[in-house]
Amino acid sequence: MKVHFFTQCLIDMFYPHVGMAGVQVLEHLGCDVVVPKKQVCCGQMFSNSGYAATAKDAMKNTIECFEDADYVVSMSGSCAFAMKDEYKDILKDEPAWLARANNLSAKIYEFTEFIVDVLGVTDVGATFNDSVTYHTSCHVTRLLGIKEQPFKLLTNIRGLDYRKLDRMDRCCGFGGTFSIKNPDISAAMTKEKALNIAATGANVVAGADQACLMSIEGMLDRLYKTGEIDRRIKVMHIAELLNCR
Amino acid sequence: MSILYDERPFHTRVKDVMDNQFKVKAIQKAQDVFYTKRKALVEQVPAWEEFRTEAAALRDHTLRNLDYYLNMFAENAEKAGAHVFFANSDKEATDYALEVLRQKEAKMIVKSKSLLTEEISLNEELIKAGINVNETDLAEFILQTDDWNPPSHIVVPALHLERSKIREVFHDKLGYEGTENPEEMTRFVRKFIRKRFLTANVGFTGCNFGVAETGSITIVSNEGNGRMSSSIPRTQIAVMGMERLVPDLASLDVMMELLVRSSVGAKISNYFSLITGPAKPGEADGPEDLHIIIVNNGRTNVLGGEFNSMLRCIHCGACMNICPVYRHITGHAYGSIYPGPMGAVLTPLLVGYEKAGALPYASTLCGECWEHCPVKIPIHELLLKHRENIAEHTNVRPAIEKPIFKTAATMFANSFLYDMGTKAAAVGMKAVAKDDAMPEWMKVLPVAGGWIKSKDMGTMKLHKFRDVYAKYEKNKKKGTF
């Protein structure tokens, strides 16, 4: 099965190994992965700040990259939501582009959703011998309605000691440019999330949206330095866990 | 109180609140209690989602036919003996109320809890006219006694005050000498307010829902003060937002199932009054004279427009009970009597972007408010609409923002420019990095500084995913991977 891969710019810039893990998991499951070279950003960071018109070029570029795809798999839930839902709205006054946006919307899948719902796989044959807790990102859970899929995958990882995170579905505080525009509020939210993660006793926290994970990682590292948490907690994208054999 | 009670810049208000962790902790504790109670109750209603869908449809139906139902309501209310007045503005509403008070020669009034009376600055106008105003809802009474301390929540407005502070207020202002035991303080207030109920000539109430079919008004309350305000004084003046109608008693039932559960996590409220006209001859309870003021105050500007769904709101407070942003900044950072997610949508609609343009940005658009909203208002989408309007049509945002976004958008829409830009950035970040993270001195910088002040930031990689993957793909083709 041919699968086009949407990396997400944060993974591209800051976390190349996460992108590679995603590619390798899909290949391991028999997919023929295509990574369009022209892809950059889905445009959501502009549209979520109210600059919908400004975001159009990035959106059109993304649409063009995936025109020939049968399936598009996004490593980020919030970008997947933008492509699935927001493009149609923002491009509604340009009929030709609206049709192309609808075309993309119909074939875009979030990473865990694709593996469970399209490939029909819940056990990817991974092994990971450590304690793991999980943050369910808002766009994945609430806006895309993907609630069970990550857990179906997690529970089948051999050796994984799952620790439930209190209020796992509460926002981590990232919120795109919110973290820049309201850094103090964002930090207070992320700190509460980080302390809840620490309280699970897990050594690893995972998720399916690298933006949330970046914010959480930055806070966990800082709190470890200041002594507010007692250990280094590793932050991993679920693709990395699924790629451990 | 008017809609805005604190017009300092948003960031100043936020800082003020966050410096007072006492207040923040009180709100967080309350949110956690509400969360647990509501969750348990909602789980007992298997058809909860169907209820929400039905309620949203009911509200939309009513809003679409608002003229029809308003007429029906007014006709039936008048038939039952009530006086109905349509107030187009806040001033028309308060002028009418003052005229009734003048006719009744009323010098003292009691009042049950009503957000709308805050919106139209009723208390200020009455006080200006020399009327002795008495809030009788316990929380409102506390706030009034504390020199009109502003509300921090629409349902539980004194949520931010600890009992020790309340005792202090009662002691200083009312000579209370008891302990800070809540029951003891409540008994004290009860005795104090009871005298007011017995001497006031006019009682003001709000109205949770007007029932078009019967011309009835309803008051949902937990303390019984709503019933006292509507039955002891000889005249009752009820103030109702023009959108707060339900077609009939059957639809009222649906709304009530959702309202109390969503609001305070209880199946029913302690009191629920359904009032149809004044007391009939021979009836023991109820006012001799009932006036219903139906208030527009900007609502028709919202009706039928892109923010129409906001008028579905039944003021339950569920959105602020769950909001992760409200949780850290409390109602006071919003500076509006309508705080939290619903307030961030509604306040700019009522007072404009110039005064409330920062509020739509006080959200991560996480959607949890929408998920908890009993009438399914897509609050996160409405906040985004506000942001679009503000960015495209106002000068509320800093002038530098637009060109920054435009430049960045050009770069992020073109892989070549992106590649060049990020390579330069990666080199720059690596040069200043300490232990693979941005050093703390960078917190003085604009944009990234806010992040670095409280969180670590890793470095951008010299070899991005696209570079790593290109190599991987090449090796795979050669069969060496």
Per-residue pLDDT, A203: 98
Residue B313 corresponds to which tokens in the numbers above? 């709101």
One domain for residues A205 and A158: yes
Of the three residues B243, B276, B301, the one that is the final residue of a domain is B301
The Cα B160–Cα B149 span in angstroms is 10
CB A47 within 8 A of CB A90: yes
DSSP symbols for B253-304 = HHHHHHHHHHHHS-SS-SEEEEE-SSPPTT-SSS-SEEEEEEE-TTHHHHTT
**Residue A196's domain is classified under what CATH number?**
3.40.50
A140 and A90 together in one domain: no
pLDDT band at B477 (very low <50, low <70, confident <90, very high): confident
The pLDDT of residue B366 is: 97
Asked if residue B427 is part of any domain, the answer here is: yes
CA distance B331 to B152: 4
Show which of residues 347-366 on chain B sit within 8 Å of chain A, judged by CB atoms.
361-366
Residues in chain B closer than 8 A to A88 (CB atoms)? none
Q: Is residue B259 in some structural domain?
A: yes
Dump the DSSP string for B154-185: SSSTTTT--HHHHHHHHHHHH---S-S-HHHH
Looking at residue B245, its pLDDT comes to: 98
Q: Tell me which amino acid residue B471 is.
A: K
Q: Which of B209-218, B240-249, B429-438 has the lowest mean pLDDT?
A: B429-438
Residues B347 and B333: their CA atoms lie apart, in Å, by 13
Given A93, A118, A143, which residue is the final one in a domain? A118
| 294-333 in chain B: CB under 8 A from chain A | 324-325, 327-329
Q: Are residues A162 and A199 in the same domain?
A: yes
Question: Same structural domain for residues B137 and B20?
Answer: yes
pLDDT of residue B442: 85
The one-character DSSP state at B87 is E
Is A126 within the bounds of a domain?
Answer: no
- Contact predicate B316/B155, CB 8 Å: yes
The reply to whether B135 and B248 lie within a common domain is yes
If you write DSSP's letter for every residue of chain A in order, what string do you get?
Answer: -EEEEE--HHHHHH-HHHHHHHHHHHHHTT-EEE--TT----SHHHHTTT-HHHHHHHHHHHHHHTTT-S-EEES-HHHHHIIIIIHHHHTTT-HHHHHHHHHHHHHEEEHHHIIIIIS--S----B--SEEEE---HIIIIIS---SHHHHHHHTSBT-EEEPPTTTTS--S-TTTHHHHSHHHHHHHHHHHHHHHHHTT-SEEEES-HHHHHHHHHHHHHHHHTTSSSS--EEEEHHHHHT--
Q: Which helix (H) or strand (E) holds B119?
A: helix B115-119
Domain of A238? 131-242
Are A174 and A101 found together in one domain?
no
Residue of A nearest to B361 (CA): A178
Q: What is the mean pLDDT of residues B364-371?
A: 97
Domain match, B49 and B176 both: yes
Phi, psi of B158 (to 5 degrees): -105, 25
Q: Which two tokens stand for residue A1?
A: 């099965």
* Alpha-carbon span A149 to A117, nearest angstrom: 8
Q: Which of B148, B167, B168, B165 is nearest to B157 (CA)?
A: B148
What is the C-alpha separation between B459 and A12, in angstroms, rounded? 12
> How many Cβ atoms are within 10 Å of B404's Cβ, its own excluded?
12
**Strand pairing report for B216-221 and B210-211:** antiparallel
Asked whether residue B481 carries a pLDDT value surpassing 60, the answer given is: no
pLDDT digits (tens, 9 = 90+) for B170-195: 999 999 999 999 999 999 999 999 99
| Statement to judge: residues A78 and A145 lie in one domain | no
- On whether both A210 and A154 belong to a single domain, the answer is yes
Lowest mean pLDDT among A50-64, B73-87, B410-424: B410-424
- Which one of B384, B455, B467 has the shortest CB-CB distance to A222? B455
How many angstroms separate the CA atoms of B348 and A209, rounded?
32
Contact: A12, B455; criterion CB under 8 Å: no
Chain B nearest-CA residue for A63: B413
- Shared domain for A72 and A160, answered yes or no, is no
**Tokens linked to B240:** 């109702």
Same domain for A113 and A17, yes or no, is: yes
Residue A91 backbone dihedrals phi, psi, to 5 degrees: -100, 15
Domain's final residue, options B251, B269, B301: B301
Q: Does the residue B290 lie in any domain? A: yes
Please, what is the end-to-end C-alpha distance for chain A in angstroms? Answer: 22
pLDDT mean across residues, chain B: 95
User: A9 and A111: one domain?
Assistant: yes
Q: Is residue B393 part of a domain?
A: no
Q: What are phi and psi of A172, to 5 degrees?
A: -80, -10
Indicate whether A125 belongs to any domain.
no
Total number of domains constituting chain A: 2
pLDDT at A175: 93
C-beta atoms of B461 and A13 within 8 A: yes
Type of residue found at B249: L
Tell me the mean pLDDT in the region B49-66.
97
B136 Cα to chain A: minimum distance (Å): 35
Boundary of a domain, candidates B282, B301, B320: B301
Tally of structural domains, chain B = 2
Residues A139 and A191 in one domain: yes
- Interface contact B469-A19, CB threshold 8 A: yes
Q: Which of A118, A139, A168 is the last residue of a domain?
A: A118
Per-residue pLDDT of chain A (245 residues), as tens digits, is 999 999 999 999 999 999 999 999 999 999 999 999 999 999 999 999 999 999 999 999 999 999 999 999 999 999 999 999 999 999 999 999 999 999 999 999 999 999 999 999 999 999 999 999 999 999 999 999 999 999 999 999 999 999 999 999 999 999 998 999 999 999 999 999 999 999 999 999 999 999 999 999 999 999 999 999 999 999 999 999 999 99
Q: What is the pLDDT of residue B479?
A: 72
Check whether residue A6 and residue A112 sit in a common domain.
yes
Share of chain B above pLDDT 90, in %: 84
Q: Is residue B328 part of a domain?
A: no
Q: Find the Cα–Cα–Cα–Cα dihedral A196, A200, A202, A207, rounded to 10°.
A: -50
- Indicate whether B125 pLDDT > 90: yes
Domain, as residue range, for B87: 10-301
Q: Which residues of chain A neighbour B39 with C-beta distances below 8 Å?
A: none
For residues B406 and B277, state if they share a domain: no
Q: Same domain, yes or no, for A106 and A181?
A: no
Is the pLDDT assigned to residue B480 strictly greater than 70?
Answer: no
CA distance A142 to B311: 23
Task: Locate B451 and state its tokens.
Answer: 């992040």
- Give me the pLDDT at residue B90, please: 97
Residue A225, domain member (yes or no)? yes
Task: Confirm whether A106 is domain-assigned.
Answer: yes
Q: What is the arithmetic mean of pLDDT over B25-42? A: 94
Task: Give the mean model confidence (pLDDT) for residues B137-153.
Answer: 96
Q: What is the pLDDT of residues B241-293, one digit of tens each?
A: 999 999 999 999 999 999 999 999 999 999 999 999 999 998 888 899 999 99
Three-point CA angle A137, A180, B453, nearest 5°: 105
| Cβ count near B252 (within 10 Å) | 24
